[in-house]
Amino acid sequence: MDVMNFALAGNPNSGKTTLFNALTGSTAHVGNWPGVTVDKKEGVYKKGSEPVSIIDLPGIYSLSPYTPEEVIARNYILDERPACIINIVDATNLERNLYLTTQLLEVDIPMVVALNMTDVLEKKGDDIDEKTLEKRLGVPVVEISALREKGIDVLMERAIEAANTPRQATSVLKGAALYGAIENAEIAFKLNGVTSPLFHAVKLVERDELEVKAHPAEAKAAEDFLAKSSHAENEFGGDTEAEIADARYRYISANFSTTLKRGKEVKRGELSKSDKVDKVLTNKWAGIPIFLVILFAVFHVTFSENFLYLGSIIPAFGDWCEGIAAMENPWLSIFFSGEGFNSPGAILFYLMDACTATVGEWINLGLTNAGAASWAIGLVCDGIWGGIAAVLSFVPQILVLFLCFSILEDSGYMARVAFILDRIFRRFGVSGRAFMPMIMGFGCSIPAMINTRTLADEKERTATVRVIPFFSCGAKAPILTAIAGAIIAMGTGVQSEDLIVFSMYLLGMVVAIISLLLMRSTTMRGETPPFVMELPAYHMPRFKNLMIHLWDKLKHYVKKAFTIILVSCIVIWVLSNFSWNWTFLIKDCVEYVELDSGVLMSLEQWLAANPGMEWEGNVLLMHATEWSALGYVLPGELVAANISMNESILGSIGMLIQPIFTPLGFGSQLGAWGWVFAVAAITGLIAKENVIATFGSLAACIAGGIIASETGVEEVGAMITATNISVPALISFIMFNMTTIPCFAAVASAKGELGKGKFKWTLVFWLVASYLVGCIVYTIGAWWWTAFIWAAVVALTVVGIVLYNKKADKKAALLK
C-alpha cells in the first residue's frame, strides 16, 4: 500500500515546523524568525487509521520563487504532487497569508487550510468565521493551535478525507482584466496535457521566469495575446505580475478578510506591546549598544568568575570570596573565585571539571591496582581521558551559552538584531538577512551555511558562507575559554574571563565584516539586495523547545567526544609517545628543576625539601640518563614529563611545521614546546574540539609536575603557560583557529553549498584570512608600532580596490 504524502505549505514563521513536530513527534528546529526551514523535512503521522507521510516545506510568500529554498517548496508541490496540501495560515495575519492560499487553489491538488494561532487570536478578542471562510475558499478550513497541539487530529481527519476526493483547481482571478489571457493559456496547457494547467497559465501570464523558460511556445502565445489586448495602458503599465497580485489582494480583502471579526477596534496609530518594545530595542541609536550589552550579558552568565561584579561592587564580599578561595577547598572553589561568586556557567564548568578529574583519578587508581604498565596508564589516563575530559569539562558552559542564544532566538529578539544590523551590513554590501545564518554560526557552521539559501543574491550568499566560520561555533568555545584562563593566569592584569571571550567573539565578527567589505568591493561586487523580513511577535520561549535544543546539543557533543575525539586522542598519544623507530619514549625519563642558582634537583626532591611550597622557577625536562650523568640518584620510576617527547613522531612533525606559524607568534620562537600549538591547529581541522583535546592529551606530559596540584582543564592552562607563549601569540592562536578552515564537516557543507569552483577559492580565502589575521594580531600585540605599518597596508589595499573597481567599471562599460 502506498503511503500518502501531505505537504505542509505556508508563509514563513506561520508555524509549519511546529505543526510538523506535533504531527510526527519529531524535534525539528523551530525558531521565532522567518526562514528557519530551508529544506524539506519528512516525517510520518501515525495516529490515524493509516500512516501518512508529512513533508515540511520551507516557508514561502508566493509560488513565484526568488530564493533557492522557495524553489524547493514550489518544485515539490508541482513535481511531486502530494496527495494533499495542508496550507498553514497564520490567523493573526489573515490577509497576507491568504495570498499564498489563492495561488495554491490554482493547483489541482486537494487542499485543507489550517488556521493556526487561533489561541493568540482569541486572546486578542478577535474571531474568524471559519465556516464562511471555508464556503468562500471552497476547501476545508480547520482551526488549530500547533503550539498547544489543538485541533490537530480534526485537521488530519479532514485532510485524509480531502485527499481521497479529487479537486478541481479554482482561481480568484475570474473577474480580473487578465483572465482572458489566463484562460487562453490554460486551454493551450490542457491541449498539451500539462498538469495543473490553470496554475501554469497564471504564472505564464505573470511572466514568471521559471514558467517562461519551461514553456517557451505557450509563453510566446500568451505574449501575443497580451499584445493584442490593451492591458499595457492601465495603471500597471504592462506589469502583469503586479496586476495579478493586486487582483488577488482586492479579492481577499472583499471576500475573505470580512470573515475576521475584531473584538475591539484598533485605533489608528495605537501601538501593540511588541511595537512598544521594538521602539526601544530597534531604536536607530540605542539598538546596537543594547545588542552589545545583551551579548555581553550572555557571556557574563556563561563565563564570569565575578558574577554581577558583586565582588567588586561590595568589597567586603570580594574579600570574603578571596578568603574562601585561599582555603583551596576543591568544592568551595567551584562556587567562589578569588574575585567573587562564579556565574552559573562557571559553576557548572568547575563542577564538571571536578567530576572529570575525579573520574580520571579513579581510572588511574583502578589501572594501578590492576597492575597495568605505566605506558598503559599513560595511554588511558593522560592520552584518552585527558583529551576527552578537557572537552567534556566545557560541555556545561557550551550548553549555558547555547541556552542563552536559544532564548534570544525563540523570544523573537534575533530577528530584530538582523533588522538593526541591516543598517551596518548594508554599508558592507550585505543585507541584514545575512545576519540570521551568521548568528546560527554561533551554534554550528553547518546549518548556518545551509541557511544561506534564504539569500537570493548568489554573490551575497557566497560571501556569507565564507565568513560564517568567523562566528565562533560551540566547538571553538573551549579554545577561547581555556586560553582566556591562561591569559588570566599569566598575570596580565585582565581578570575577566567573560570579557576576554566576549572580545574574541567580537573580534571574529569584526574580521567577518572586514572580509565582507573586501569581498563585496572586489571579486563579489553587486547591488545589496533589499532586506524585507517580517518581524515576528515577541513571545516567551517554550521550555520544551529549549530543552529539546539543549538535549540535542548535549547528545551530539558527548557522541563526538567518544568517537572522533576519542580516536584523535589515541592517535595523538601514540604519535607523541613513540619515536619513528617505534621506541616508547616515556619509560626511562624523569623531570627535574633548575634552581635560580643553576643547581639541578629532582622535582620530587625539591618538593620534599620545600614542604607546602609551589614551584615557580624554570622547569626543564630531560632524560633519566642525562639526569644520572649529572650524578643525581634517580627517585624511582616517575610518570610523564620528558623532553624526549620532542623526539616523538608528533613532535618531529610539529617541529617541521612549527616555522610556518612563526609570524603568528606560536612557531619557532617558542622553542622546545612550541610545536604543540602547530599540532593543535592542524588536529583542529578534523573537529575544533580537537584543539583542546590535543592540549589535554599533551598537557600531562608537558605540564605534569610543574604545579603538582593542577588537574583537568587547569592542567591545560598550566601547559600553555609552561610553553612561555606570549599573550599576543595566544590571541593570535585563537584568531587563527577562529578564522581558518573550519572542521571537515563544515568544509563538506561549504563545498555542497558553493560548488567546486567557488569552493577552491573559499579554501584559499580561509587560509589567507586566518594567516593574515593571526599575523596582524600578533605583530600589533607584540610591537604596537607595527599598527602604523598595517595601517599603511590597509591604505594601499583601499587604493588598490578603488583602482581595481575603476578598471572593472571601465571594462564593463566597454563591453556594454
Residues forming contacts to other proteins in the complex (CB under 8 A) are 26-29, 31, 36-42, 367, 370-373, 375-376, 379-380, 384, 440, 443-444, 446-447, 450-451, 453, 548-549, 552-553, 555-556, 559-560, 563-564, 566-567, 570-571, 687, 745-746, 748-749, 752
- The C-alpha angle with vertex 242 and arms to 239 and 247, in degrees rounded to 5, equals 125
CB atoms within 10 A of CB 119: 16
Residue 221 or 745: the one with the smaller Cβ distance to other proteins is: 745
- Report how far apart, in Å, the C-alpha atoms of 607 and of each of 308, 591, 610, 632, 706 are: 39, 12, 5, 16, 11
- Report how far apart, in Å, the C-alpha atoms of 557 and of each of 191, 394, 740 are: 57, 10, 21
Closest distance to other proteins from the beta carbon of 100 (Å) = 21
Residue 550 or 682: the one with the smaller Cβ distance to other proteins is: 550
Gap between the terminal Cα atoms of the chain: 60
Q: CA nearest 32: which of 360, 330, 413, 303?
A: 413
Contact indicator for 266, 125 with CB cutoff of 8 Å: no
Write out the three cell numbers for 373.
604498565
Closest distance to other proteins from the beta carbon of 454 (Å) = 9
Closest distance to other proteins from the beta carbon of 569 (Å) = 10
**Would you call 26 exposed, middle or buried from its count of C-beta atoms within 10 A (0-12, 13-18, 19+)?**
middle
**Would you call 340 exposed, middle or buried from its count of C-beta atoms within 10 A (0-12, 13-18, 19+)?**
buried
Residue 478 or 774: the one with the smaller Cβ distance to other proteins is: 478
CB atoms within 10 A of CB 53: 17
Residue 161 or 458: the one with the smaller Cβ distance to other proteins is: 458
Closest distance to other proteins from the beta carbon of 553 (Å) = 6
Residue 370 or 814: the one with the smaller Cβ distance to other proteins is: 370
Residue 471 or 592: the one with the smaller Cβ distance to other proteins is: 471
Closest distance to other proteins from the beta carbon of 27 (Å) = 4
Q: Where do we find the cell 514558467?
A: 211
Residue 578 or 675: the one with the smaller Cβ distance to other proteins is: 578
Closest distance to other proteins from the beta carbon of 439 (Å) = 12
Closest distance to other proteins from the beta carbon of 648 (Å) = 17
Closest distance to other proteins from the beta carbon of 720 (Å) = 26
Q: Which residues contact 603 (CB under 8 A, 6 or more apart)?
A: 591, 592, 593, 615, 619, 705
- The C-alpha angle with vertex 40 and arms to 38 and 45, in degrees rounded to 5, equals 135
Write out the three cell numbers for 669.
620562537
Closest distance to other proteins from the beta carbon of 702 (Å) = 22
Residue 556 or 810: the one with the smaller Cβ distance to other proteins is: 556
- Distance CA(740)–CA(685), nearest Å, equals 9
Q: CA nearest 798: which of 508, 517, 554?
A: 517
Residue 456 or 707: the one with the smaller Cβ distance to other proteins is: 456
Contact indicator for 181, 226 with CB cutoff of 8 Å: yes
- Distance CA(691)–CA(684), nearest Å, equals 5
Closest distance to other proteins from the beta carbon of 564 (Å) = 7
Q: Which residues contact 515 (CB under 8 A, 6 or more apart)?
A: 463, 466, 467, 470, 765, 769
Residue 18 or 118: the one with the smaller Cβ distance to other proteins is: 18
Closest distance to other proteins from the beta carbon of 745 (Å) = 4
Contact indicator for 497, 459 with CB cutoff of 8 Å: no
Residue 744 or 788: the one with the smaller Cβ distance to other proteins is: 744
Query: What is the total residue count of the chain?
Result: 816
260 forms beta bridges with: 128
Residue 547 or 708: the one with the smaller Cβ distance to other proteins is: 547
Closest distance to other proteins from the beta carbon of 655 (Å) = 25
Residue 300 or 553: the one with the smaller Cβ distance to other proteins is: 553
Closest distance to other proteins from the beta carbon of 548 (Å) = 6
Q: Please state whether beta strands 41-45 and 52-56 pair in parallel, antiparallel, or not at all (unpaired).
A: antiparallel
- Report how far apart, in Å, the C-alpha atoms of 540 and of each of 17, 406, 671 are: 18, 11, 54
Residue 280 or 748: the one with the smaller Cβ distance to other proteins is: 748
Q: Please state whether beta strands 111-116 and 589-594 pair in parallel, antiparallel, or not at all (unpaired).
A: unpaired
How is residue 150 annotated by DSSP? B
**Would you call 681 exposed, middle or buried from its count of C-beta atoms within 10 A (0-12, 13-18, 19+)?**
buried
Residue 551 or 783: the one with the smaller Cβ distance to other proteins is: 551
Closest distance to other proteins from the beta carbon of 562 (Å) = 9
Contact indicator for 64, 203 with CB cutoff of 8 Å: yes
Closest distance to other proteins from the beta carbon of 393 (Å) = 19
Contact indicator for 647, 579 with CB cutoff of 8 Å: yes
- Distance CA(307)–CA(347), nearest Å, equals 10
Strand (E) positions, 331-375? none
